[in-house]
């Protein structure tokens, strides 16, 4: 066969594959994956056995070719799932600018079906909430406070290097009521603006108490005290956004971004000090390009189990 013809066929075949991947990459962001996991927690109170906690993150409202409909779909799906609590992992607006009021208000509208339900919602802030698209940017404290205020207006508890005790009651979760049946939810501050302070975050958590830990950046996990986080969750990586099958560490974001995270999705292979465990949620939004390939938006639904 003529070499030129072979070359043309290879080019056409490669072009067809790229076109299919591009089309799928534009479609996949609107399919929501429900990933069910077990969370083994030492000293888990009986009242929390088999209860469920849902995790989502990285809304990135304001990205071109935005995924607002996916955020709204997730909010409604969480209402149907009716977990004991929902955790938001930060980065609610894509690029916070001098005035991102429109994006923050849009976020508020999209998640209101969830916050209008009886489900308790908790949140931490991420680097984009401080208008930090890279680690070299100066954090904008004012914008971060405005984002925090919008979340609080929706009765979302925002945690920054602090813990809250959660107790199951007939009327749902009661915050701040400490008893032998309490589960402690610990929230870390954002890493890039230098807000993560694990020693402060665990100050009010009794040594033997059951706890569930949340943070935005998975690199914060490496700084946690030994045996402090039997189950912890993070976002930030978008799961790689465009992943090569069979290669969990290789993806678009790991190759092109300045993220130093060694693991980008799912349970981390690197067990932390004293058996700490980390699960990385791939989030909802995007970095730079509105594409997801082999990495759909995810609701991670944890079923709590005694260890």
What is the model's pLDDT at position 264?
82
pLDDT at 1 over 60: no
What is the model's pLDDT at position 13?
63
SS3 247: coil
pLDDT in tens, 232-289: 999 999 888 877 666 555 555 555 454 555 578 889 865 555 789 999 999 998 877 7
What is the model's pLDDT at position 178?
80
Tokens 């205020």 — which residue? Answer: 149
pLDDT at 21 over 70: no
Q: How many residues comprise the chain?
A: 307
Name which residue leads in pLDDT, 241 or 71: 71
Domain range annotation of the chain? 31-306
Structure tokens at 191: 């890493």
Can you point out the beta strands (E) in the chain? 33-41, 52-56, 85-88, 120-123, 157-158, 162-169, 172-175, 183-187, 211-214, 232-234, 266-267, 278-280, 298-306
Percent of the chain exceeding pLDDT 90 equals 58
pLDDT at 8 over 70: no
Distances in Å between the Cα of 124 and the Cα atoms of 118, 145, 148 are 20, 12, 9
pLDDT at 33 over 70: yes
- Cα separation, 147 vs 128, in Å, equals 10
What is the model's pLDDT at position 248?
55
What is the model's pLDDT at position 291?
81
pLDDT in tens, 153-182: 999 999 999 999 999 888 778 887 787 889
Strongest mean pLDDT among 55-64, 114-123, 244-253, 290-299: 114-123
| Span 186-196, average pLDDT | 97
User: What is the third-level CATH fold of 31-306?
Assistant: Purple Acid Phosphatase; chain A, domain 2 (3.60.21)
| Span 140-149, average pLDDT | 93
What is the model's pLDDT at position 250?
54
């Amino acid at each position: 066969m003529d070499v030129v013809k072979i070359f043309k066929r290879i080019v056409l075949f490669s072009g067809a594959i790229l076109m299919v991947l591009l089309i799928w990459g534009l479609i996949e962001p609107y399919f929501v994956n429900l990933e069910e996991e077990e969370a083994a927690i030492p000293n888990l109170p009986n009242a929390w056995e088999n209860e469920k906690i849902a995790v989502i993150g990285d809304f990135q409202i304001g990205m071109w070719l935005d995924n607002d409909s996916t955020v709204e779909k997730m909010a409604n799906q969480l209402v149907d799932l009716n977990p004991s609590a929902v955790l938001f992992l930060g980065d609610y607006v894509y690029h916070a600018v001098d005035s991102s009021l429109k994006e923050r208000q849009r976020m508020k509208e999209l998640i209101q079906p969830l916050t209008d339900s009886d489900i308790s919602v908790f949140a931490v802030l991420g680097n984009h909430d401080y208008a930090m698209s890279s680690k070299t940017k100066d954090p904008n404290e004012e914008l971060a406070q405005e984002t925090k205020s919008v979340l609080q207006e929706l009765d979302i508890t925002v945690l920054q290097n602090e813990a809250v005790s959660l107790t199951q009651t007939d009327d749902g979760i009661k915050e701040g009521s400490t008893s032998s049946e309490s589960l402690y939810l610990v929230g870390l501050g954002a890493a890039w603006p230098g807000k993560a302070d694990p020693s402060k975050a665990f100050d009010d958590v009794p040594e033997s108490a059951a706890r569930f830990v949340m943070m935005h950046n998975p690199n914060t996990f490496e700084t946690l005290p030994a045996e402090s986080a039997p189950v912890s969750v993070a976002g930030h990586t978008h799961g790689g956004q465009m992943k090569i099958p069979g290669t969990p560490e290789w993806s678009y974001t790991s190759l092109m971004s300045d993220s130093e995270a060694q693991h980008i999705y799912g349970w981390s292979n690197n067990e932390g000090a004293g058996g700490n465990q980390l699960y990385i949620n791939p989030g909802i939004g995007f970095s730079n390009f509105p594409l997801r390939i082999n990495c759909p938006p995810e609701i991670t639904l944890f079923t709590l189990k005694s260890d």
